[in-house]
Amino acid sequence: MIKIYYPSAFSITREYRMILQGLVNNPSVTLVKNEKDSDYVFQFYYRSKHQKYYTEIYPPDKIVFIDYHDNPGWASSIKCKAYFKRSWVEPVVKEYTAIKEPVKRDGNFYPISFAIMDEFIINEEMDRDILLSCPLRIKNRHTNRIRVLEAMDSMDIKGNVQIGELNRGSMRAFNDSDMKGYFRLLKRSRIVVTCNPDPWEGDHRTWEAFASGAMVFVDRMFTPMVHPLIDGKHCVFYDISTKGLESLKKKVRYYLNNPDKAEAIAKEGHDFTMKYHRTSNRIDDILGVIL
């Protein structure tokens, strides 16, 4: 067993809880209460000025630094055995199309993604009475999400659809009624269209969609994964460009008119992500690097 010390973070975010859940669920790991009894210290970071919250100094060769900061260009100066960063890529424009490219980093940096948390999963059987949902939350700088919402709204789909924010949602209280309603909405959907934030890549919404068992459309992602998603098999990728959004609408219409093919991709995507993209799998990804 690998002994891990995971000190409490100053802000118990969903991201912190995601890593904790993965450590608890991983059969190769046992959690210990202090650094001296550990093989490694998983030091979690989410917000700036973290140094004043982490007053204890750990041996650099034992530190596994886990950084879920939104800013791709930010990195801690901490000395560590391995540095795992979620915002691995940043947007660039090539040939009039916005894509994302990796930020140049030192050799001990590795990408890490979000994962399906236990709380995302609804085991209750439900009728998929919603043809399509695109419940994106709009914030500053999330222009891409606005464009995707406008594209879906312009399709004028006849039937039960949910286009636009369902609720504000609670980032921490999974048991709040609005979050339960959101997860149930995804579970009832045949197709879920989601989109990453503009300035960075990686969000919970992608994995919430896969956990629901719906067919997932998501903008093309560039962060490397140990078990990558395959376009047309596990989901359908689309490009954030005028031409790409027109193609997205055509593909959505095609799968609405061919529900058997949509169900096949939905099942492949759900089975694949439940096998390789749970919180415990993220710990496997980390251990695969440091061991």
* CATH number of residue 59's parent domain: 3.40.50
Which pLDDT score is estimated for 288?
Answer: 98
Who wins on pLDDT, 11 or 99?
99
**Which pairs count as long-range contacts for 10-17, CB under 8 Å and 24+ apart, including other chains?**
10/50, 10/53, 11/46, 11/47, 12/172, 13/46, 13/68, 13/171, 13/172, 14/117, 14/171, 14/172, 14/204, 15/44, 15/46, 15/68, 15/86, 15/114, 16/44, 16/46, 17/117
Weakest mean pLDDT among 124-133, 196-205, 226-235 = 196-205
Strand (E) or helix (H) holding 196? none
- For 51-65, what is each residue's pLDDT tens digit? 556 667 899 999 999
> Average per-residue pLDDT in the chain?
90
Residue 10 pLDDT greater than 80, yes or no:
no
Section 79-86 average pLDDT: 96
Whether residues 76 and 210 fall in one domain = no
Q: Output the CA torsion sign for 123, 128, 132, 133.
A: negative
Number of domains, the chain: 2
Which pLDDT score is estimated for 176?
Answer: 73
> Which CATH number covers residue 130?
3.40.50.2000
Whether residues 125 and 198 fall in one domain = yes
Which pLDDT score is estimated for 33?
Answer: 96
Closest CA relative to residue 98, chosen from 227, 187, 219? 219
Whether residues 98 and 194 fall in one domain = no
Which pLDDT score is estimated for 179?
Answer: 84
Section 97-111 average pLDDT: 86
Section 22-45 average pLDDT: 96
**pTM metric for this prediction:** 0.93
Owner of token pair 């801690």: 76
Query: Could you tell me if 63 and 41 are in contact, meaning their C-beta atoms sit under 8 angstroms apart?
Result: yes
Q: Output the CA torsion sign for 10, 12, 15, 18.
A: positive
Whether residues 34 and 80 fall in one domain = yes
